[in-house]
Structure 1
Amino acid sequence: MVEPVFAHSLDALPDQARLLSLSGRAFMEAMRDGALPHPPISETLNYRLDTVEDGRVVFRGAPEFAHMNPMGTVHGGWYGTLLDSCMACAVMTKVPKGSVYTTLEYKINIIRPLSVGTEILAEGITSHSGRSTGVAEGTIRGVEDGTLYATGSTTCMIMKIRDGA
């Protein structure tokens, strides 16, 4: 397995020309394979890109002590960020060359608390990808036993920046 490449300055992140030169799926595959850096947020929240397919993305990770809230449970923002990431990146796999996306809105449902160190898979699956919007659903499940910890849904805006030819 290729170790993730983490960026520690803006210069290490892909520029817009590089982003627009690839289809969304090719961009995600390059990130998975280590040819492009992973986003800094994935280092902060301890997750990595595991699987990239057409309309489907899976992240693997585990919450750490730093992700706990004052009540001693994993903060809801950890669940939300992982779901936002996997769902939006699933939409990204459908984005054509010359276009980008951004999350318009997302909703999550936390089903049960996660313990620190529990390894999870956050899976996003695209249900619609059109000219200007993409819709995806997501789940967070335990690796060991498939326990469902959270679900989510998102709508993303797809924007054509220039001709992808």
Structure 2
Amino acid sequence: MSIPGSLQDIPAIRRFSPTVLCAGHPTEAQLTACARAGVEVVINLSLHGQPYSLPDEAGLLASLGVEYIHIPVIWDVPTSEDVARFFEAMRTTAGRSTLVHCVKNMRVTAFLALYAIHQGGDREHWLWWIRETWEPDEYPAWAGLLATISPVH
């Protein structure tokens, strides 16, 4: 399934699944376009109060009728607790049209790949999928985190 034309300008946007898009940080106009395109949930893995942050992403999305979930993941210190919170968010929003974003779609591709692997997806496929966006082996904290997740049996 392709990405709607109104959303193609969002930085590093990609499709993870039929209902989940992932991207770098969208603008207010791009989030509004997401709502118009049917996005029901936005999960933000970046931090508030940064130069790239929107002044009130939660308020904007609430005004558009879009559920907002914020899981602030510190770039240099991603934790298994962050991953667990993300897995829970993915579980509770399953089947709903969702945009997951961070700054450059690096945290997000890693967390989505971890989620896919945890759900039984092929580890090598999903590591390759991450590498289409960035190289996690260049960041020890991320390489370590990626090594920790195993499929549910």
How does the TM-score come out when normalised to structure 1? 0.28
Whose RCO is larger (CA < 8 A, sep 6+)?
Answer: 2
Larger Rg over CA atoms: 1
* Higher normalized helix content (fraction of residues): 2
How does the TM-score come out when normalised to structure 2? 0.29
* Higher normalized strand content (fraction of residues): 1
